[in-house]
Structure 1
Amino acid sequence: MRVTEKGQVTIPKEIRDRLGIGPGSEVDFVPDRQGVRIVVADGEAVEDRRAASIRAWADNVSGILDLGGMTADEYFEWIRGPRDDLCPR
């Protein structure tokens, strides 16, 4: 992105759409260790929205895998087969 003589930048359409930024929206640029974050007027940072999206997905799919009483270790062994890098049990 190039900064204009007036100090303006254009936020790419894909990002505006993803964040719900439209004409008249308020945004802020917040410096952090990696550079800068765009913060939408409601104060929710881009990373917060992404984390919320992942949490919503996880909530949506939680509980749909029935392991039939198997522990996680038993399930992984069932999926992968016995590990040959460990001593036999």
Structure 2
Amino acid sequence: MSTTVTAKGQVTIPKAVRDLLGLKPGSQVSFRQTADGRIELLLASKTRKTRRFQKLRGHAGQGLSTDAIMALTRGEK
């Protein structure tokens, strides 16, 4: 199977390869060079390392209203 590289460096992965790897829209792939110089296309692992701030993301709970925040920034009580 072969495909053509566009001017932007994009390629269309043939359907047979997408089916074989289970690729769906939004899937991430990675490329790896083998010892003999070939390049392998791999389905990126779903168990990626968490970034250092990832565990801090989320919602802190019920917060201040916009009016309360504005009052604090203006020094009002």
What is the TM-score of this pair, normalised by structure 2? 0.50
Partner of 1:42: 45
Give a deviation string over 1:32-56, Cα, whole Å, max 9, x none: 225110111117xxxxxxxxxxxxx
Partner of 2:30: 28
Give the letter aligned to residue 22 of structure 2.
Answer: G
Taking the TM superposition and a 5 Å limit, the aligned residue runs for 1:1-89 are: 1-32=3-34, 33-42=36-45
Give the letter aligned to residue 41 of structure 1.
Answer: A
1:25 CA drift (Å): 0.2
1:26 CA drift (Å): 0.2
Superposition CA RMSD, Å:
1.5
Distance 2:39 2:14 in 1: 15
| Unaligned stretches of 5+ residues in structure 2 | 47-77
Give a deviation string over 1:30-87, Cα, whole Å, max 9, x none: 11225110111117xxxxxxxxxxxxxxxxxxxxxxxxxxxxxxxxxxxxxxxxxxxx
Larger RCO (CA within 8 A; separation ≥ 6): 2
Distance 2:8 2:33 in 1: 20
Q: Which has the higher helix share?
A: 1
Give a deviation string over 1:4-26, Cα, whole Å, max 9, x none: 01101111000100110010000
| Unaligned stretches of 5+ residues in structure 1 | 44-89
Identity fraction in percent: 47
**Partner-residue secondary structure (3-state), 1:38:** strand
